[in-house]
Chain A
Amino acid sequence: MNVTGNAVRQGLSRGGTELRQVLSNGQDLGSNLVWLIGLLAPIYFLRDNMLAGTDVSVAAFVLPSLLSMCIGFNGLLNLAQQLVVEREDGTLLRLKALPHGMVSYLIGKVLLVAGMVLVAWVAVLGTGALLVDGLHLGEAGRWLTLLWLLPLGLLAMLPLGAVFGSLIESPRSIGLVMLPVFALATISGIFHPIAGFPTWLQVVAQVFPLYWLGLAARSALLPESALAAEIGESWRHWETVAALGGWAVLGMLAAPVVLRLMARRESGSTMAARRDRALSRRAA
């Protein structure tokens, strides 16, 4: 039997099991979607406000941008958080003791996160179809854009999540990543077009992948008339692919190194030490 093939198969089966566990547990599903509901609620109130200089509503602008937030949240924050938590609770060490266990672990996580992004997308697109006018949900070509956006977005985000998850030592420090991501979201044109921002802020936003994910999602769902609100009045697909691809390459180079260093440190006694710290925290 092929060893690598088996490791991939076990990783997929692992991801499938974990995805089922999340989807079949109301509490887990709720905690994964609660932030999304918080972001979707304003859509309803913004449905009649028009975006300056265009004929699309603010709601129609924000909704596709939220698709990029789904990738950002799940790919970066959720993955990082799971790595930190599962390093502390011993999951990672358990897999490290198996032949090819770490590879399967990562494959499982990628599948789980991709699944969670899809669930979140269904929630966002469903809300859009019900509440927001002016979205082009009925055209096949539009879906094609979403189809390349999802894997490319994951490729850009997941390695970053893996790097952060490896560098953060305690689950209590996960907030250290949460805050910058929220800050990034506010300047990345998720809630408001950045074309009106000062130039230096536009440059900063365009360095990071979140802006490009949002731009691509808007290009998929909004009419051409919405271009008036974008930088250079263009969807800039080539630039998008280049920016996201660049992050993906960078991440793919860094993540394996960081992950390997992190995994190498794992042993029974490092975990026991972490457990003792966690227990004394709980007692305190």
Chain B
Amino acid sequence: MTTTVTAPDPVRIAPAEPPPVVRVRGLQMSYGAQQVLRGIDFTITRGQIVALLGPNGAGKSTTIEILEGFRLRSAGEVSVLGVDPARGDEAWRARLGIVLQSWRDHGKWRVRELLCHFGSFYRPYATDGVTRPWDVDELLAAVGLTEQADKPIAALSGGQRRRLDIAVGIVGRPEVLFLDEPTVGFDPQARQEFHELLRTLADARMTILLTTHDLHEAEKLADQVLILTGGRIAARGTVAELARQFGGEAEVTWTSGGRTHSARTADASTFVRQLIQGGGEVEDLRVHRTGLEEIYLSMVAGEEAKR
């Protein structure tokens, strides 16, 4: 094949919409007669953190395993980093990070030893811009395992093991990171540190998709939340958008002249401003917006009732 070097076409390199990192269209999955995914669509752009939220059995793990290339879909279009995961080769795999649910593998290996070993698999995939693998000491510090570096993995606590799982997932500096229930078994502080770590990674342009059934986690972490129930995406958007979309109204309560008043409004700020500018006595003012939790629970309950 011959290649001719020409001056870049100014029209073609104009900053168009960047191609999405993950693109899913009409994804369906059946195990025999049982349909687990009934046609889902979503798109993730570079540097986004997306939470796939849903009750157990909603199809979260199935979705993520299809994207990882570990499971073949029944129908629909899927692309991850521009490649169909069903046909992804090893070079494509090298750009992926996968945090699996932990179990008891590699118990005799030491923490640093295992990270060095796994990191070495990514060495041929280093580029001018990206050093691969991640420096192991830096990585240990980032996940808070410096003190455990020389311990056998079997001797780690559950939370420490989970941090190691995450370190294994990012040792190759992936462009896209998949995490299946990453914070199971974390105490609140570990959870907080984990959220900060994911934020840092996303700031460095890593694209992150995680599954969780913890609403607060999705709320705190995700740029985009996809609520999956019964194999369909029941709702999507930022947490604020979801609250607006489904919560709709906020309830404003106040006391005036010893009496308690309450009103429902879609635009709480305007309502409150007008209330105060009205000049009357307004005390003990409270605004309660329907939380995502209530929306989520009612959505899940609705889906359960349909079964």
Footprint of B on A, CB under 8 Å? Answer: 1-3, 6-7, 9-10, 13-14, 17, 21, 25, 86, 89-91, 93-94, 96-101, 104, 266-269, 271-272, 275
Contact = CB atoms under 8 A, between A and B. Distances in A.
Nearest to B165: A94
B115 to A, nearest CB: 12
A38 to B, nearest CB: 25
A88 to B, nearest CB: 8
Interface stretch (B94-102, B240-248, B254-262): B94-102
B124 A97 contact: no
B122 interface: yes
Identify which of B68, B103, B106, B168 gathers the most chain A CB atoms within 10 Å of its CB: B103
A266 B71 CA distance: 8
B124 A3 contact: yes
B290 to A, nearest CB: 34
Nearest to A88: B103
Interface string B63-107: 011001011000000000000000000110110101011111111
Identify which of A10, A104, A268 gathers the most chain B CB atoms within 10 Å of its CB: A268
24 contacts: A3-B90, A10-B117, A86-B105, A89-B105, A89-B107, A90-B100, A96-B70, A97-B68, A97-B93, A97-B100, A98-B118, A99-B121, A99-B122, A99-B125, A99-B172, A267-B70, A267-B71, A268-B64, A268-B68, A268-B70, A269-B61, A271-B103, A272-B61, A275-B103
B123 interface: yes
A6 B121 contact: yes
B123 to A, nearest CB: 6
A98 B100 contact: no
Interface of B: 61-62, 64-65, 68, 70-71, 90-91, 93-94, 96, 98, 100-109, 113, 117-118, 120-126, 168, 172, 180
A94 B86 CA distance: 18
Given A104-B121, A269-B65, 10 more contacts: A1-B123, A10-B120, A89-B107, A90-B103, A94-B106, A97-B98, A98-B121, A98-B172, A100-B90, A268-B180
A99 B117 contact: no
Given A17-B117, A96-B70, A99-B91, A90 B105 contact: yes
Nearest to B124: A1
Nearest to A92: B105
A85 B185 CA distance: 25
B90 A93 contact: no
Contacts of A6: 120-121, 123-124
Contact of A269 (B62, B105, B108, B113): B62
Contacts of B126: 1
B100 A94 contact: yes
Nearest to B93: A99
Contacts of A268: 61, 64-65, 68, 70, 100-101, 180
Contacts of B121: 6-7, 10, 98-101, 104
B111 to A, nearest CB: 13
A91 B104 CA distance: 8
A44 B121 CA distance: 49
A99 B61 contact: no
Contacts of B113: 17
A89 B94 CA distance: 23
Contact of B90 (A1, A10, A99): A99
B233 to A, nearest CB: 20
Given A6-B121, A6-B123, A101-B121, A89 B103 contact: yes
Contacts of A266: 70
A129 B101 CA distance: 51
A10 B124 CA distance: 12
Nearest to A271: B103
B72 to A, nearest CB: 8
A21 B68 CA distance: 31
Contacts of A86: 105
Given A6-B124, A99-B94, A104-B121, A91 B70 contact: no
Contacts of A267: 65, 68, 70-71
A10 B125 CA distance: 14
Contacts of A2: 124
Given A96-B70, A268-B100, A13 B108 contact: no
A165 B9 CA distance: 56
A97 B61 CA distance: 15
